[in-house]
Structure 1
Amino acid sequence: MKWVIKITSDINKLREKIDSIDEKIIELILNRMEVVHKVGITKSKQNSRIYVPEREVAIYKKLSALSGISEKDISNFYTEIISFCRKFEGILDVAIKKDTYSLLGVKKLFGEHVNSIFVENFEEIDTDSIKYILSPFDEEILNFIQNKNWFLINSVFINNETLYLFSSFENTILNDDDIAIVLADHKIADDFIKLNEHNFINLLPYNRAKSWSNFKLLGVIPKN
Protein backbone atom coordinates (compact mmCIF):
# COMPACT_ATOMS: atom_id res chain seq x y z
CA MET A 1 0.00 0.00 0.00
CA LYS A 2 3.04 2.29 0.34
CA TRP A 3 3.08 3.04 -3.37
CA VAL A 4 -0.62 4.04 -3.19
CA ILE A 5 0.09 6.40 -0.31
CA LYS A 6 3.08 7.91 -2.15
CA ILE A 7 1.08 8.45 -5.36
CA THR A 8 -1.75 10.03 -3.36
CA SER A 9 0.75 12.27 -1.57
CA ASP A 10 2.35 13.33 -4.87
CA ILE A 11 -1.05 14.11 -6.41
CA ASN A 12 -2.04 16.17 -3.37
CA LYS A 13 1.16 18.21 -3.62
CA LEU A 14 0.52 18.83 -7.32
CA ARG A 15 -3.05 19.85 -6.57
CA GLU A 16 -1.79 22.30 -3.96
CA LYS A 17 0.44 23.83 -6.65
CA ILE A 18 -2.54 24.05 -9.00
CA ASP A 19 -4.59 25.75 -6.28
CA SER A 20 -1.77 28.25 -5.73
CA ILE A 21 -1.55 28.97 -9.47
CA ASP A 22 -5.34 29.40 -9.65
CA GLU A 23 -5.21 31.96 -6.84
CA LYS A 24 -2.56 33.92 -8.74
CA ILE A 25 -4.61 33.75 -11.95
CA ILE A 26 -7.69 35.13 -10.17
CA GLU A 27 -5.61 37.88 -8.57
CA LEU A 28 -4.25 38.89 -11.99
CA ILE A 29 -7.72 38.82 -13.57
CA LEU A 30 -9.01 41.07 -10.78
CA ASN A 31 -6.10 43.44 -11.45
CA ARG A 32 -6.94 43.39 -15.16
CA MET A 33 -10.60 44.16 -14.39
CA GLU A 34 -9.57 47.16 -12.31
CA VAL A 35 -7.38 48.57 -15.09
CA VAL A 36 -10.06 47.88 -17.73
CA HIS A 37 -12.58 49.75 -15.58
CA LYS A 38 -10.26 52.79 -15.56
CA VAL A 39 -9.86 52.50 -19.33
CA GLY A 40 -13.65 52.38 -19.63
CA ILE A 41 -14.04 55.60 -17.67
CA THR A 42 -11.53 57.31 -19.96
CA LYS A 43 -13.25 55.96 -23.08
CA SER A 44 -16.62 57.13 -21.79
CA LYS A 45 -15.31 60.67 -21.35
CA GLN A 46 -13.84 60.63 -24.85
CA ASN A 47 -16.85 58.81 -26.36
CA SER A 48 -14.43 56.19 -27.72
CA ARG A 49 -15.29 52.69 -28.93
CA ILE A 50 -15.29 49.88 -26.38
CA TYR A 51 -14.70 47.02 -28.79
CA VAL A 52 -11.35 47.32 -30.60
CA PRO A 53 -10.87 44.12 -32.64
CA GLU A 54 -7.46 45.07 -33.96
CA ARG A 55 -6.24 45.55 -30.38
CA GLU A 56 -7.57 42.12 -29.38
CA VAL A 57 -5.83 40.42 -32.31
CA ALA A 58 -2.59 42.15 -31.32
CA ILE A 59 -2.99 40.70 -27.80
CA TYR A 60 -3.47 37.19 -29.18
CA LYS A 61 -0.39 37.52 -31.39
CA LYS A 62 1.75 38.80 -28.53
CA LEU A 63 0.62 36.08 -26.11
CA SER A 64 1.14 33.44 -28.79
CA ALA A 65 4.71 34.63 -29.36
CA LEU A 66 5.41 34.65 -25.62
CA SER A 67 3.90 31.23 -24.90
CA GLY A 68 4.36 29.20 -28.06
CA ILE A 69 0.61 28.48 -27.99
CA SER A 70 -1.13 29.02 -31.32
CA GLU A 71 -3.06 32.25 -31.83
CA LYS A 72 -6.23 30.23 -32.42
CA ASP A 73 -5.89 28.43 -29.07
CA ILE A 74 -5.03 31.69 -27.31
CA SER A 75 -8.10 33.40 -28.76
CA ASN A 76 -10.35 30.45 -27.83
CA PHE A 77 -9.87 30.95 -24.09
CA TYR A 78 -8.67 34.56 -23.92
CA THR A 79 -11.79 35.84 -25.67
CA GLU A 80 -13.72 34.98 -22.51
CA ILE A 81 -11.23 36.78 -20.26
CA ILE A 82 -11.49 39.89 -22.42
CA SER A 83 -15.28 39.51 -22.57
CA PHE A 84 -15.53 39.26 -18.79
CA CYS A 85 -13.32 42.32 -18.31
CA ARG A 86 -15.07 44.28 -21.08
CA LYS A 87 -18.36 44.25 -19.18
CA PHE A 88 -16.75 46.75 -16.80
CA GLU A 89 -16.43 49.14 -19.74
CA GLY A 90 -19.93 48.42 -20.97
CA ILE A 91 -21.90 45.47 -22.35
CA LEU A 92 -22.11 45.71 -26.13
CA ASP A 93 -25.41 45.51 -28.01
CA VAL A 94 -25.07 43.60 -31.27
CA ALA A 95 -27.99 43.39 -33.71
CA ILE A 96 -28.48 40.01 -35.37
CA LYS A 97 -31.19 38.04 -37.11
CA LYS A 98 -32.77 35.30 -35.02
CA ASP A 99 -30.86 32.27 -36.26
CA THR A 100 -28.37 29.84 -34.77
CA TYR A 101 -25.42 30.87 -36.94
CA SER A 102 -25.67 34.53 -35.93
CA LEU A 103 -25.98 33.70 -32.24
CA LEU A 104 -22.96 31.39 -32.40
CA GLY A 105 -21.03 34.04 -34.31
CA VAL A 106 -21.70 36.70 -31.66
CA LYS A 107 -20.49 34.40 -28.89
CA LYS A 108 -17.38 33.44 -30.83
CA LEU A 109 -16.44 37.07 -31.48
CA PHE A 110 -17.43 38.65 -28.16
CA GLY A 111 -17.62 35.82 -25.61
CA GLU A 112 -20.50 35.42 -23.16
CA HIS A 113 -20.79 39.03 -22.03
CA VAL A 114 -22.66 40.59 -24.93
CA ASN A 115 -26.29 41.53 -25.62
CA SER A 116 -27.65 39.91 -28.77
CA ILE A 117 -30.47 42.11 -30.07
CA PHE A 118 -32.77 40.13 -32.37
CA VAL A 119 -34.26 42.16 -35.21
CA GLU A 120 -36.51 41.42 -38.17
CA ASN A 121 -34.69 43.94 -40.35
CA PHE A 122 -31.69 46.12 -39.68
CA GLU A 123 -33.41 49.37 -40.62
CA GLU A 124 -35.42 49.16 -37.38
CA ILE A 125 -32.42 49.33 -35.05
CA ASP A 126 -31.68 52.39 -32.96
CA THR A 127 -28.23 53.40 -34.18
CA ASP A 128 -27.83 55.78 -31.22
CA SER A 129 -27.53 52.78 -28.89
CA ILE A 130 -26.63 49.88 -31.19
CA LYS A 131 -23.27 50.28 -32.89
CA TYR A 132 -22.73 46.73 -34.20
CA ILE A 133 -24.46 44.35 -36.60
CA LEU A 134 -23.42 40.77 -37.34
CA SER A 135 -24.82 39.40 -40.59
CA PRO A 136 -24.10 37.46 -43.74
CA PHE A 137 -23.36 39.81 -46.62
CA ASP A 138 -26.54 40.40 -48.60
CA GLU A 139 -28.51 43.20 -50.24
CA GLU A 140 -30.18 44.25 -46.98
CA ILE A 141 -26.95 44.79 -45.06
CA LEU A 142 -25.35 46.44 -48.08
CA ASN A 143 -28.15 49.00 -48.31
CA PHE A 144 -27.94 49.61 -44.57
CA ILE A 145 -24.21 50.27 -44.37
CA GLN A 146 -24.28 52.46 -47.47
CA ASN A 147 -27.16 54.56 -46.11
CA LYS A 148 -25.66 54.81 -42.61
CA ASN A 149 -22.02 55.01 -43.67
CA TRP A 150 -21.03 52.03 -41.50
CA PHE A 151 -17.85 49.96 -41.81
CA LEU A 152 -16.96 46.29 -42.03
CA ILE A 153 -14.61 45.66 -39.09
CA ASN A 154 -14.42 41.90 -38.49
CA SER A 155 -15.65 38.50 -39.63
CA VAL A 156 -16.30 35.07 -38.18
CA PHE A 157 -16.58 31.68 -39.87
CA ILE A 158 -19.42 29.49 -38.57
CA ASN A 159 -20.34 26.13 -40.12
CA ASN A 160 -19.03 26.97 -43.59
CA GLU A 161 -20.64 30.40 -43.59
CA THR A 162 -18.89 33.74 -43.16
CA LEU A 163 -20.63 36.35 -41.02
CA TYR A 164 -19.44 39.94 -41.14
CA LEU A 165 -19.37 42.44 -38.31
CA PHE A 166 -20.36 45.98 -39.24
CA SER A 167 -20.07 49.06 -37.05
CA SER A 168 -20.45 52.81 -36.98
CA PHE A 169 -16.83 52.78 -35.75
CA GLU A 170 -14.06 51.87 -38.17
CA ASN A 171 -10.82 50.09 -37.31
CA THR A 172 -8.04 52.65 -36.99
CA ILE A 173 -5.02 50.66 -35.76
CA LEU A 174 -3.68 49.23 -39.01
CA ASN A 175 -1.00 46.56 -39.14
CA ASP A 176 0.88 44.68 -41.83
CA ASP A 177 -1.17 41.94 -43.51
CA ASP A 178 -4.53 43.27 -42.30
CA ILE A 179 -7.19 42.58 -44.92
CA ALA A 180 -9.02 45.41 -46.65
CA ILE A 181 -12.40 44.13 -47.83
CA VAL A 182 -13.70 45.65 -51.06
CA LEU A 183 -17.10 45.76 -52.70
CA ALA A 184 -17.20 45.04 -56.40
CA ASP A 185 -20.33 44.69 -58.50
CA HIS A 186 -22.46 44.75 -55.31
CA LYS A 187 -20.70 41.83 -53.68
CA ILE A 188 -17.61 41.23 -51.59
CA ALA A 189 -14.67 40.48 -53.86
CA ASP A 190 -13.25 36.97 -53.77
CA ASP A 191 -9.75 38.43 -53.81
CA PHE A 192 -8.67 41.10 -51.39
CA ILE A 193 -6.35 44.00 -50.76
CA LYS A 194 -3.64 43.61 -48.14
CA LEU A 195 -1.90 46.23 -46.05
CA ASN A 196 1.85 46.52 -46.02
CA GLU A 197 3.58 49.19 -43.94
CA HIS A 198 0.23 50.98 -43.67
CA ASN A 199 -0.16 51.26 -47.44
CA PHE A 200 -2.70 49.48 -49.59
CA ILE A 201 -1.22 46.84 -51.89
CA ASN A 202 -3.66 45.80 -54.60
CA LEU A 203 -3.45 42.03 -55.11
CA LEU A 204 -6.13 41.95 -57.79
CA PRO A 205 -5.31 41.44 -61.46
CA TYR A 206 -5.37 44.86 -63.11
CA ASN A 207 -7.66 43.85 -65.98
CA ARG A 208 -10.16 42.34 -63.56
CA ALA A 209 -10.17 45.34 -61.24
CA LYS A 210 -10.51 47.59 -64.24
CA SER A 211 -13.69 45.81 -65.32
CA TRP A 212 -15.38 46.22 -61.96
CA SER A 213 -18.08 48.79 -61.37
CA ASN A 214 -19.02 50.29 -58.01
CA PHE A 215 -15.59 49.54 -56.51
CA LYS A 216 -15.64 50.55 -52.83
CA LEU A 217 -13.61 49.88 -49.68
CA LEU A 218 -15.93 48.44 -47.01
CA GLY A 219 -13.41 48.30 -44.16
CA VAL A 220 -10.25 46.69 -42.80
CA ILE A 221 -10.27 43.41 -40.87
CA PRO A 222 -7.37 42.60 -38.52
CA LYS A 223 -5.47 39.54 -39.73
CA ASN A 224 -5.47 36.67 -37.22
Structure 2
Amino acid sequence: MIKISDDLKNLRLSLDNINNSIADLISQRIDIVKRVGKIKKQKKNFYVPEREKFIFKTLCEKFPELDKNIIKSLFTEIISGCRSYEKIFEVGLLNDVWSLSALINILGTFTSNHFMNDVSSLKEKYNSLDYVLISLDDNFISLVENLQDIFVINYYEKDERKFFLLGKTENTDILSGKIGFLLEKNNFAKIKDRLYNQLYKVYNISENYIYTEIDYSKQDDIEKIKNIFSVPHKYMGIYPDNNF
Protein backbone atom coordinates (compact mmCIF):
# COMPACT_ATOMS: atom_id res chain seq x y z
CA MET A 1 0.00 0.00 0.00
CA ILE A 2 1.35 3.40 -1.02
CA LYS A 3 1.41 5.88 1.81
CA ILE A 4 0.41 9.37 0.74
CA SER A 5 2.18 12.09 2.66
CA ASP A 6 0.37 15.10 4.05
CA ASP A 7 2.28 17.28 1.59
CA LEU A 8 1.03 15.20 -1.35
CA LYS A 9 -2.52 15.30 0.03
CA ASN A 10 -2.35 19.08 0.28
CA LEU A 11 -0.96 19.38 -3.22
CA ARG A 12 -3.75 17.20 -4.60
CA LEU A 13 -6.28 19.26 -2.68
CA SER A 14 -4.82 22.37 -4.28
CA LEU A 15 -5.10 20.74 -7.71
CA ASP A 16 -8.73 19.80 -7.00
CA ASN A 17 -9.47 23.41 -6.07
CA ILE A 18 -7.83 24.59 -9.29
CA ASN A 19 -9.85 22.05 -11.31
CA ASN A 20 -13.05 23.27 -9.67
CA SER A 21 -12.13 26.86 -10.48
CA ILE A 22 -11.41 25.95 -14.11
CA ALA A 23 -14.75 24.15 -14.45
CA ASP A 24 -16.57 27.10 -12.87
CA LEU A 25 -14.89 29.56 -15.27
CA ILE A 26 -15.75 27.36 -18.26
CA SER A 27 -19.37 27.31 -17.08
CA GLN A 28 -19.31 31.11 -16.92
CA ARG A 29 -17.75 31.23 -20.37
CA ILE A 30 -20.53 29.04 -21.76
CA ASP A 31 -23.17 31.43 -20.39
CA ILE A 32 -21.48 34.37 -22.12
CA VAL A 33 -21.05 32.38 -25.36
CA LYS A 34 -24.80 31.72 -25.38
CA ARG A 35 -25.46 35.45 -25.16
CA VAL A 36 -22.95 36.15 -27.92
CA GLY A 37 -24.58 33.41 -30.00
CA LYS A 38 -27.93 35.20 -29.92
CA ILE A 39 -26.25 38.24 -31.46
CA LYS A 40 -24.33 36.14 -33.99
CA LYS A 41 -27.53 34.55 -35.27
CA GLN A 42 -28.19 37.86 -36.99
CA LYS A 43 -24.93 37.48 -38.91
CA LYS A 44 -23.79 35.01 -41.56
CA ASN A 45 -20.40 34.23 -40.03
CA PHE A 46 -20.84 32.26 -36.82
CA TYR A 47 -17.21 31.12 -36.79
CA VAL A 48 -14.71 34.00 -36.69
CA PRO A 49 -11.12 32.68 -37.03
CA GLU A 50 -9.61 36.13 -36.60
CA ARG A 51 -11.19 36.40 -33.14
CA GLU A 52 -9.74 33.03 -32.12
CA LYS A 53 -6.32 34.02 -33.41
CA PHE A 54 -6.54 37.17 -31.27
CA ILE A 55 -7.34 35.04 -28.20
CA PHE A 56 -4.40 32.69 -28.80
CA LYS A 57 -1.98 35.51 -29.54
CA THR A 58 -3.02 37.56 -26.51
CA LEU A 59 -2.69 34.59 -24.16
CA CYS A 60 0.72 33.65 -25.57
CA GLU A 61 1.95 37.18 -25.00
CA LYS A 62 0.48 37.35 -21.50
CA PHE A 63 1.87 33.95 -20.45
CA PRO A 64 5.21 33.58 -22.27
CA GLU A 65 6.30 30.86 -19.84
CA LEU A 66 3.69 28.53 -21.38
CA ASP A 67 4.31 26.73 -24.66
CA LYS A 68 2.16 28.43 -27.31
CA ASN A 69 1.16 25.06 -28.78
CA ILE A 70 -0.25 24.04 -25.40
CA ILE A 71 -2.19 27.31 -25.16
CA LYS A 72 -3.59 26.92 -28.68
CA SER A 73 -4.52 23.27 -28.19
CA LEU A 74 -6.22 23.81 -24.82
CA PHE A 75 -8.15 26.90 -25.84
CA THR A 76 -9.16 25.50 -29.22
CA GLU A 77 -10.89 22.72 -27.30
CA ILE A 78 -12.37 25.07 -24.70
CA ILE A 79 -13.75 27.32 -27.46
CA SER A 80 -15.05 24.30 -29.37
CA GLY A 81 -16.81 22.91 -26.30
CA CYS A 82 -18.37 26.25 -25.38
CA ARG A 83 -19.49 26.83 -28.97
CA SER A 84 -21.23 23.43 -29.01
CA TYR A 85 -23.86 24.79 -26.59
CA GLU A 86 -25.00 27.12 -29.38
CA LYS A 87 -24.04 25.38 -32.61
CA ILE A 88 -22.28 22.20 -33.70
CA PHE A 89 -20.83 22.61 -37.17
CA GLU A 90 -21.57 20.01 -39.83
CA VAL A 91 -18.21 19.39 -41.50
CA GLY A 92 -17.35 17.24 -44.51
CA LEU A 93 -13.90 15.76 -44.93
CA LEU A 94 -12.11 12.88 -46.58
CA ASN A 95 -11.82 9.70 -44.55
CA ASP A 96 -8.16 9.87 -43.53
CA VAL A 97 -6.29 10.59 -40.32
CA TRP A 98 -4.50 13.69 -41.68
CA SER A 99 -7.76 15.46 -42.53
CA LEU A 100 -9.24 14.64 -39.12
CA SER A 101 -6.12 15.90 -37.35
CA ALA A 102 -6.24 19.16 -39.32
CA LEU A 103 -9.94 19.65 -38.54
CA ILE A 104 -9.40 19.10 -34.81
CA ASN A 105 -6.56 21.62 -34.87
CA ILE A 106 -8.86 24.22 -36.44
CA LEU A 107 -12.28 23.61 -34.87
CA GLY A 108 -11.61 21.24 -31.97
CA THR A 109 -13.47 17.98 -31.41
CA PHE A 110 -17.00 19.32 -30.94
CA THR A 111 -18.08 19.02 -34.57
CA SER A 112 -20.40 16.69 -36.45
CA ASN A 113 -18.11 15.05 -38.98
CA HIS A 114 -19.21 13.58 -42.29
CA PHE A 115 -16.46 11.35 -43.67
CA MET A 116 -16.40 10.88 -47.44
CA ASN A 117 -14.41 8.44 -49.54
CA ASP A 118 -13.88 10.81 -52.45
CA VAL A 119 -14.02 14.46 -53.48
CA SER A 120 -17.11 13.91 -55.64
CA SER A 121 -19.09 12.98 -52.53
CA LEU A 122 -17.81 16.07 -50.71
CA LYS A 123 -18.86 18.24 -53.62
CA GLU A 124 -22.29 16.62 -53.79
CA LYS A 125 -22.94 17.22 -50.07
CA TYR A 126 -21.37 20.69 -49.95
CA ASN A 127 -24.61 22.68 -49.78
CA SER A 128 -25.88 20.69 -46.79
CA LEU A 129 -22.69 21.24 -44.77
CA ASP A 130 -21.40 24.22 -42.82
CA TYR A 131 -17.79 23.61 -43.83
CA VAL A 132 -15.55 21.30 -45.83
CA LEU A 133 -11.96 20.40 -44.94
CA ILE A 134 -9.65 19.60 -47.87
CA SER A 135 -5.91 19.33 -48.51
CA LEU A 136 -4.22 21.74 -50.89
CA ASP A 137 -3.54 19.39 -53.81
CA ASP A 138 -5.42 18.10 -56.83
CA ASN A 139 -8.35 17.26 -54.52
CA PHE A 140 -8.69 20.98 -53.82
CA ILE A 141 -9.05 21.74 -57.53
CA SER A 142 -11.65 19.01 -58.01
CA LEU A 143 -13.70 20.36 -55.13
CA VAL A 144 -13.71 24.11 -55.76
CA GLU A 145 -13.97 24.19 -59.55
CA ASN A 146 -17.47 25.11 -60.72
CA LEU A 147 -18.63 25.92 -57.17
CA GLN A 148 -19.63 29.57 -56.89
CA ASP A 149 -19.87 30.25 -53.17
CA ILE A 150 -16.78 28.64 -51.69
CA PHE A 151 -14.07 30.47 -49.76
CA VAL A 152 -11.09 29.68 -47.56
CA ILE A 153 -12.09 30.31 -43.95
CA ASN A 154 -9.02 29.03 -42.13
CA TYR A 155 -6.09 26.67 -42.61
CA TYR A 156 -3.71 24.27 -40.91
CA GLU A 157 -0.14 23.42 -41.92
CA LYS A 158 2.08 20.57 -40.79
CA ASP A 159 4.98 18.68 -42.36
CA GLU A 160 4.70 20.72 -45.56
CA ARG A 161 1.04 19.75 -45.98
CA LYS A 162 -1.65 22.42 -46.01
CA PHE A 163 -5.34 21.94 -45.30
CA PHE A 164 -8.10 24.47 -45.91
CA LEU A 165 -11.39 24.86 -44.09
CA LEU A 166 -13.81 26.04 -46.77
CA GLY A 167 -17.21 27.67 -46.36
CA LYS A 168 -19.96 29.47 -48.26
CA THR A 169 -19.51 32.93 -46.73
CA GLU A 170 -16.29 34.90 -47.13
CA ASN A 171 -14.45 36.17 -44.07
CA THR A 172 -14.77 39.90 -43.40
CA ASP A 173 -13.04 42.44 -41.19
CA ILE A 174 -9.65 40.74 -41.19
CA LEU A 175 -7.38 43.77 -40.92
CA SER A 176 -4.27 41.90 -42.06
CA GLY A 177 -3.84 38.37 -43.31
CA LYS A 178 -3.72 36.35 -46.49
CA ILE A 179 -5.64 36.38 -49.76
CA GLY A 180 -5.81 33.35 -52.03
CA PHE A 181 -6.20 32.70 -55.75
CA LEU A 182 -6.43 29.49 -57.80
CA LEU A 183 -5.34 29.77 -61.41
CA GLU A 184 -3.60 28.01 -64.25
CA LYS A 185 0.18 28.22 -64.36
CA ASN A 186 0.27 29.89 -67.77
CA ASN A 187 -2.08 32.63 -66.53
CA PHE A 188 0.01 33.20 -63.42
CA ALA A 189 3.08 33.67 -65.61
CA LYS A 190 1.31 36.58 -67.31
CA ILE A 191 0.83 38.57 -64.10
CA LYS A 192 3.72 37.35 -61.96
CA ASP A 193 5.84 40.47 -62.61
CA ARG A 194 3.08 42.65 -61.15
CA LEU A 195 3.59 40.98 -57.77
CA TYR A 196 7.15 42.27 -57.43
CA ASN A 197 6.34 44.33 -54.31
CA GLN A 198 4.06 41.73 -52.71
CA LEU A 199 4.99 39.00 -50.23
CA TYR A 200 3.49 35.84 -51.68
CA LYS A 201 3.84 32.08 -51.85
CA VAL A 202 3.07 29.76 -54.75
CA TYR A 203 1.87 26.17 -54.29
CA ASN A 204 2.15 23.82 -57.26
CA ILE A 205 -0.90 21.64 -56.74
CA SER A 206 -1.17 19.92 -60.12
CA GLU A 207 0.44 19.81 -63.52
CA ASN A 208 -1.58 22.79 -64.71
CA TYR A 209 -2.71 24.67 -61.60
CA ILE A 210 -1.14 26.67 -58.81
CA TYR A 211 -2.50 28.27 -55.67
CA THR A 212 -1.14 31.71 -54.86
CA GLU A 213 -1.28 33.09 -51.33
CA ILE A 214 -0.50 36.78 -50.86
CA ASP A 215 0.04 38.59 -47.56
CA TYR A 216 -1.66 41.94 -46.98
CA SER A 217 -1.14 44.34 -44.09
CA LYS A 218 -4.23 46.54 -44.40
CA GLN A 219 -7.68 46.15 -45.92
CA ASP A 220 -7.01 48.78 -48.58
CA ASP A 221 -4.51 46.34 -50.10
CA ILE A 222 -7.18 43.73 -50.85
CA GLU A 223 -8.73 45.46 -53.86
CA LYS A 224 -5.30 46.43 -55.18
CA ILE A 225 -4.21 42.79 -55.09
CA LYS A 226 -7.45 41.65 -56.72
CA ASN A 227 -6.88 44.09 -59.58
CA ILE A 228 -3.49 42.51 -60.30
CA PHE A 229 -5.23 39.26 -61.20
CA SER A 230 -6.64 40.38 -64.54
CA VAL A 231 -6.30 36.85 -65.97
CA PRO A 232 -8.85 34.03 -65.48
CA HIS A 233 -8.68 32.83 -61.87
CA LYS A 234 -10.77 31.76 -58.90
CA TYR A 235 -10.75 34.11 -55.93
CA MET A 236 -10.67 32.13 -52.67
CA GLY A 237 -11.14 34.91 -50.12
CA ILE A 238 -9.20 36.35 -47.19
CA TYR A 239 -8.15 34.54 -44.03
CA PRO A 240 -5.91 35.17 -41.01
CA ASP A 241 -2.18 34.52 -40.86
CA ASN A 242 -1.97 31.93 -38.10
CA ASN A 243 1.68 32.53 -37.30
CA PHE A 244 2.08 34.36 -34.00
SS in 1 for 2:147: helix
Instruction: Give identity over the alignment, percent.
Output: 29
Q: How does 1:180-195 map to 2 (within 5 A)?
A: 180-185=179-184, 186-189=209-212, 192-195=213-216
Residue 241 of structure 2: aligned partner = 223
How far 1:194 sits from its partner (Å)? Answer: 1.4
Residue type of the alignment partner of 2:149: N
Amino acid at match of 2:84: K
- Shift of residue 126 of structure 1? 5.1
Q: Alignment length, in residue pairs?
A: 206
Partner of 1:151: 151
How is 1:37-56 mapped onto 2 (pairs within 5 angstroms)? 37-44=34-41, 46-56=42-52
State the distance in 1 between where 2:36 and 2:30 align: 10
Given that 1:153 and 1:165 are in contact with CA atoms closer than 8 Å, whether structure 2 keeps it comes out as: yes
Give the conservation status (yes or no) of the 8 Å contact 1:182–1:215.
Answer: yes
1:60 is matched with which residue?
56
**TM-superposition CA deviations, 1:25-69 (whole Å, max 9, x none):** 11100000111112223323x153322111111110111111113
Q: Which runs of 5+ in 2 are unaligned?
A: 185-208
CA distance in 1, matches of 2:234, 2:142: 17
**TM-score, scaled relative to structure 2:** 0.75
Contact kept? 1:194, 1:200, Cα under 8 Å: no
Aligned to 1:166: 166
Which residue of structure 2 aligns with residue 19 of structure 1?
16
**TM-score, structure 1 as length reference:** 0.81
Match of 1:200 in 2: 221
Contact 1:182-1:217 at 8 Å conserved across structures: yes
1:164–1:62 CA distance, 2 compared to 1 (3 A)? same
What is the Cα deviation at residue 223 of structure 1?
Answer: 1.4
User: Does 71-80 or 85-94 show the bigger shift?
Assistant: 71-80
Whichever residue aligns with residue 49 of structure 2, its letter is: P
Unmatched runs of 5 consecutive residues or more in structure 1 = none
Deviating above 4 A after TM superposition, structure 1's stretches of 4 or more consecutive aligned residues are none
2:152–2:237: 8 Å Cα contact kept in structure 1?
yes
Q: Is the 8 A contact 1:55 1:173 kept in 2?
A: no
Superposed, 1:48-197 pairs within 5 Å as: 48-68=44-64, 69-119=66-116, 120=118, 121=120, 122-125=122-125, 127=127, 129-137=128-136, 138=138, 139-143=141-145, 146-176=146-176, 178-185=177-184, 186-189=209-212, 192-197=213-218
